[in-house]
Amino acid sequence: MAYVNNAQLCGFIVGNGELAEYGGTPCLKFLLALNKPGAKKASYINCVAWGETALRLVDYCLKGVEIFVGGELETSAFVDSRGSNHKSTSLRIEKFSIVQGPKGASVEKPIPPG
């Protein structure tokens, strides 16, 4: 059976990205707002980029930047200290392209997908 897990999204970065390092590997996390035409509320998805992708994206990961991202959906589950179960879905970014910088700012060089 074939395995297909590929998502492509275009939305706006909510807040500035958070760069951290796990086991010596850079990791960039941010929230993406997806504004469906005609919808009263946006949908939000957690995004994460690792390694070289994280380092290339970090300078552009600013509040208000419109970005196209592609990658694999990942899910995780955990139990908090109160014993409550939680599930999380995020997009592990494999490629990205800046569509437009935040209002009042310019993005010098878009990064092509791939």
| DSSP calls for 46-77 | EEEEEHHHHHHHGGG--TT-EEEEEEEEEEEE
Across the strands, what pairs with 33?
12, 44
Question: Domains (ranges, CATH) in the chain?
Answer: 7-100 (2.40.50.140)
Averaged confidence pLDDT in the chain: 88
- CA gap 54, 103 in Å, rounded: 23
The H-or-E segment that residue 78 falls in is strand 66-79
pLDDT digits (tens, 9 = 90+) for 43-65: 999 999 999 999 999 988 889 99
Question: What is the reported pLDDT for 103?
Answer: 60
- CA gap 68, 99 in Å, rounded: 7
pLDDT digits (tens, 9 = 90+) for 11-45: 999 988 999 999 999 999 999 999 988 989 999 99
What is the Cα Rg of the chain in Å? 15
Would strands 66-79 and 7-22 be described as parallel, antiparallel, or unpaired? antiparallel
Give the pLDDT band of residue 107 (cuts 50, 70, 90).
very low
Higher pLDDT, 71 or 106: 71
Question: What is the reported pLDDT for 60?
Answer: 87
Question: What is the reported pLDDT for 86?
Answer: 93
pLDDT digits (tens, 9 = 90+) for 62-81: 899 999 999 999 999 999 99
φ/ψ region of 64 (left if φ > 0, alpha if ψ in -120 to 50, else beta) reads left
